[in-house]
C-alpha cells in the first residue's frame, strides 16, 4: 500500500521520506497519531507563546516610552496606528483575508476536510499582536487557535494523514492553543470537544490529552509560573447566596444576548461599507473615541479583571480621565457597568475596522465587570456576598452564553483560578445563562454564519456526513440532452440510440433547463416511423418532479429525493443545466463518507 502511494505523494526531501518509511515499518497508525499530537501540541504552544510575547513587547514599548509621558491623549491615536499597520500588512504582505480564527477553522473542518491555507500559520502571529498591542479591544485566543489549527493541518498534510486524522490534529492544536494560553489543560480538551464537536472516545481522547499536556509544558517553559489571572480562591460558597446566583445567571444571559446582538448589528453595518479603507477610517476613529473616553477598554483588559478579582477597584479604574469621587460606590458601579456595556461595542468595532483578534477574552472582561457590579449592588443595599466570587462567576456566565460553551466556561474558570469549591454556583450560572441565551440566539458568534449556510459541524454524525459531502462529486453528466424543437426521429438517432439512460433533459440554446422526457413516454411511438417527422420533443416534455439547485445542501438534496420519490433529479446552477444526481450514487457516497468519518 505504501509503495503505491509513494509514487503519487510528493515528499519534501529525503529526510521526510525516511521518516515515512520508518513509520510504516516500525510503528502503528495509532502510535504515529499519538506522536503527531504531541508535535502539534508543542507547535500550538510555541505559536501561542510567540503571540503573547509579541503582544506584551509592543505594549511595554508603547507604555514605557509614550503613554507615561503623554498619558490619555495617545489612547485615541495608538489603536488607529495599529489598525493602519494591520491594513497595510494584509494588503501588501499577506494579500489574503485572515478572517476570525475559530470561525474560519470551523469552516475548514466542515467544508475543506481540514485543509487550511499555509499563510494562516503566520498571518495572525503578525497582525493580532499589532492589533491588541496598540490597544485594539480584542483578545488573543482566536488568533492562537487559528495559528495552531493551521500548524496542525500542515503537519497532517506533511505526513499524508487522511481527512479524519487531519480534523483530529486540528482539534489537538485547538486544545494546545487554549492549554498554553490559560494553563488549563482540562478545560482545553473540553473546549476542543465542545466547539469542534469531536468524539470524546478513546481514539480522540488520548491525542487531545497528549497535545494539551505538551502545550502547557511549553507555556511553563516560556512563562514559568506566570498566569493570566493571579487569583486564589478565598471565600467559600455559601448556600444563602444561591438566589443571588440564580439572578446572576439570568443577568449574564441577558448580557450574552446583548453581546451577540450588538456584534451582529455592528458587523452588518460595516459590511455595507464596501471599501476596506473606509471601514478603517470610520472604525478607527470610533475605537479611538471610545478608548479615550473609557481607557479600561484598551487592549485585552487583563489588568481590570485581575484587579476586580483581588478587590482593587480603585486600581482597576485608575485610568478614568475624569475628576470623579471613586469613593462613592454608585459612581464606581456606574463606571463598571459602562465599561461592560461598551466592551462588546469596542471589540466588534475593532474587528469590523480590520483588526485581528478574538472574542474569548472580551467575554471574560465583560463578565468580570458585570459580576462585580452585581455583588457591589447587593452589598450596598445591605447584603453580604463575596465580590471576588461573583466577579469570577460572572465570567463563567458570559462565556457560557456568548460562546455557547457552558462546560468550557465551568472548567476554565475553575481551573485557572483554583475555584473548584465554587462548582455549584459555576454550574448553576453557566446552565441558566446558556439556556437563556440559546432561547434567543440559536448559534454562537463563531457558528452563526456556518449554521445559516448549513456548514456547521455538530455532534449529530448524520448531519455532519451530509454536510461534508461535495455536490460536485455527485453530479453525473452522461445524460443526452435534447431541445424542445427536435423532431422525434432526430431524438431517437442522436439521443436515445447513444444513451444508456432512460431520462433526457430538455434544454434550450442558452442551456437553460426546461424539463425532461422519459423513455417510457416515447416508447409507444418509437417504432411508428410516420411520427418521426411530425412530433417534436416538446410534445413529450414534462416537468421534473424536483429540481436540485447547485447551492442546495446535501441534506436538502436528500429531502428532495424523499419527497419526490424520484431516482434521478436534475441539477441547475444560475438557471443553467449541469447534469443529474442519482439516488444510488448519493447513497453510495453517503455510505463511503460515513465510513470515513466514523472509522
In angstroms and rounded to an integer, the radius of gyration of the C-alpha atoms of the chain is: 29
Structure confidence at residue 5 (pLDDT): 41
Q: How confident is the model at residue 398 (pLDDT cuts 50, 70, 90)?
A: very high
Q: How confident is the model at residue 6 (pLDDT cuts 50, 70, 90)?
A: very low
- As a three-state string, the secondary structure of 18-67 is HHHHHHHHHCCHHHHHHHHHHHHHHHHHHHHHHHHHHHHHHHHHHHHHHH
- What mean pLDDT is predicted for residues 454-459? 55
Structure confidence at residue 21 (pLDDT): 72
Structure confidence at residue 11 (pLDDT): 43
Ordered structural domains, the chain, with CATH = 2-223 (1.10.3080.10), 239-459 (1.10.3080.10), 468-598 (3.10.580.10)
Structure confidence at residue 70 (pLDDT): 56
Contact 514, 507 (CB under 8 A): yes
Contact 83, 133 (CB under 8 A): no
**Of 135-149, 209-223, 407-421, where does mean pLDDT reach its minimum?**
407-421
Task: Pick the more confident residue, 402 or 10.
Answer: 402
d(CA 295, CA 320): 6
Which pLDDT tens digit goes with each residue over 33-85?
A: 888 999 999 999 999 989 988 988 888 887 765 555 555 566 678 888 888 99
Which pLDDT tens digit goes with each residue over 292-317?
A: 888 888 888 888 888 888 888 888 88
d(CA 536, CA 585): 32
Q: How confident is the model at residue 370 (pLDDT cuts 50, 70, 90)?
A: very high
Structure confidence at residue 2 (pLDDT): 36
Structure confidence at residue 3 (pLDDT): 37
Task: Pick the more confident residue, 526 or 51.
Answer: 51
Structure confidence at residue 246 (pLDDT): 95
**Residue 527 pLDDT greater than 90, yes or no:** no
Closest CA to 320 of 331, 329, 309, 305: 331
Q: How confident is the model at residue 8 (pLDDT cuts 50, 70, 90)?
A: very low
Global pTM? 0.76
Which pLDDT tens digit goes with each residue over 242-298?
A: 999 999 999 999 999 999 999 999 988 998 888 888 888 898 889 888 888 888 888
Averaged pLDDT score across all residues of the chain: 82
Which pLDDT tens digit goes with each residue over 133-149?
A: 888 888 888 889 889 98
Amino acid at each position: 500500500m505504501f509503495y503505491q502511494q509513494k509514487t503519487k505523494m510528493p515528499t519534501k526531501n529525503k529526510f521526510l521520506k525516511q521518516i515515512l518509511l520508518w513509520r510504516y515499518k516500525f510503528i502503528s497508525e495509532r502510535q504515529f497519531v499519538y506522536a503527531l499530537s504531541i508535535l502539534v501540541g508543542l507547535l500550538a504552544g510555541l505559536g501561542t507563546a510567540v503571540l503573547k510575547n509579541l503582544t506584551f513587547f509592543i505594549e511595554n514599548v508603547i507604555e514605557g516610552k509614550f503613554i507615561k509621558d503623554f498619558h490619555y491623549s495617545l489612547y485615541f491615536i495608538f489603536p488607529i496606528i495599529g489598525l493602519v499597520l494591520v491594513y497595510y500588512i494584509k494588503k501588501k504582505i499577506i494579500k489574503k483575508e485572515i478572517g476570525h480564527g475559530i470561525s474560519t477553522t470551523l469552516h475548514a473542518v466542515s467544508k475543506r476536510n481540514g485543509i487550511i491555507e499555509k499563510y494562516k500559520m503566520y498571518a495572525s502571529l503578525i497582525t493580532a499582536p499589532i492589533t491588541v498591542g496598540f490597544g485594539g479591544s480584542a483578545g488573543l485566543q482566536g488568533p492562537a487557535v487559528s495559528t495552531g489549527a493551521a500548524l496542525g493541518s500542515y503537519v497532517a498534510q506533511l505526513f499524508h494523514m487522511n481527512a479524519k486524522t487531519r480534523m483530529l490534529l486540528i482539534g489537538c492544536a485547538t486544545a494546545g492553543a487554549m492549554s498554553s494560553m490559560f494553563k488549563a489543560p482540562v478545560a482545553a480538551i473540553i473546549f476542543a470537544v465542545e466547539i469542534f464537536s469531536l468524539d470524546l472516545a478513546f481514539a480522540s481522547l488520548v491525542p487531545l490529552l497528549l497535545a494539551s499536556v505538551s502545550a502547557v509544558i511549553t507555556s511553563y517553559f516560556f512563562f514559568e509560573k506566570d498566569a493570566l489571572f493571579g487569583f486564589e480562591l478565598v471565600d467559600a460558597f455559601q448556600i444563602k447566596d444561591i438566589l443571588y446566583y440564580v439572578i446572576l445567571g439570568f443577568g449574564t444571559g441577558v448580557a450574552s444576548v446583548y453581546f451577540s446582538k450588538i456584534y451582529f448589528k455592528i458587523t452588518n453595518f460595516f459590511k455595507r461599507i464596501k471599501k476596506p479603507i473606509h471601514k478603517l477610517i470610520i472604525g478607527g476613529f470610533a475605537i479611538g473615541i471610545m478608548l479615550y473616553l473609557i481607557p479600561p477598554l484598551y487592549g485585552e483588559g487583563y489588568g481590570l479583571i485581575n484587579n476586580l478579582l483581588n478587590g482593587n477597584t480603585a486600581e482597576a479604574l485608575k485610568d478614568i480621565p475624569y475628576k470623579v469621587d471613586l469613593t462613592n460606590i454608585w459612581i464606581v458601579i456606574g463606571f463598571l457597568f459602562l465599561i461592560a456595556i461598551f466592551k462588546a461595542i469596542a471589540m466588534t468595532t475593532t474587528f469590523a475596522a480590520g483588526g485581528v483578534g478574538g472574542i474569548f477574552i472580551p467575554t471574560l472582561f465583560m463578565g468580570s465587570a458585570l459580576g462585580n457590579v452585581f455583588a457591589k449592588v447587593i452589598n450596598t443595599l445591605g447584603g453580604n456576598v463575596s465580590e471576588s466570587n461573583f466577579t469570577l462567576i460572572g465570567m463563567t456566565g458570559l462565556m457560557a452564553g456568548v460562546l455557547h460553551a457552558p462546560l468550557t466556561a465551568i472548567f476554565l474558570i475553575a481551573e485557572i483560578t483554583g475555584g473548584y469549591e465554587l462548582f455549584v454556583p459555576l454550574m448553576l450560572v453557566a446552565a441558566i445563562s446558556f439556556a437563556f441565551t440559546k432561547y434567543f440566539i440559536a448559534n454562537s458568534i463563531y457558528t452563526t454564519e456556518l449554521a445559516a449556510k448549513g456548514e456547521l459541524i455538530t455532534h449529530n454524525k448524520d448531519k455532519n456526513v451530509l454536510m461534508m459531502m461535495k455536490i460536485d462529486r455527485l453530479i453525473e453528466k452522461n445524460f443526452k440532452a435534447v431541445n424542445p424543437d427536435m423532431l422525434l426521429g432526430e431524438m431517437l438517432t442522436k439521443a436515445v440510440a447513444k444513451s444508456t439512460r432512460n431520462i433526457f433533459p430538455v434544454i434550450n440554446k442558452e442551456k437553460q433547463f426546461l424539463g425532461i422526457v422519459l423513455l417510457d413516454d416515447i416508447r409507444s411511438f418509437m417504432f411508428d416511423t410516420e411520427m418521426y417527422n411530425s412530433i417534436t420533443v416538446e410534445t413529450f416534455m414534462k416537468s421534473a418532479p424536483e429540481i436540485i439547485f447547485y447551492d442546495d445542501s446535501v441534506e436538502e438534496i436528500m429531502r428532495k429525493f424523499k419527497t419526490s420519490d424520484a431516482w434521478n433529479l436534475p441539477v441547475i446552477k444560475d438557471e443553467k443545466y449541469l447534469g443529474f444526481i442519482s439516488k444510488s450514487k448519493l447513497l453510495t457516497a453517503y455510505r463511503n463518507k460515513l465510513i470515513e468519518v466514523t472509522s
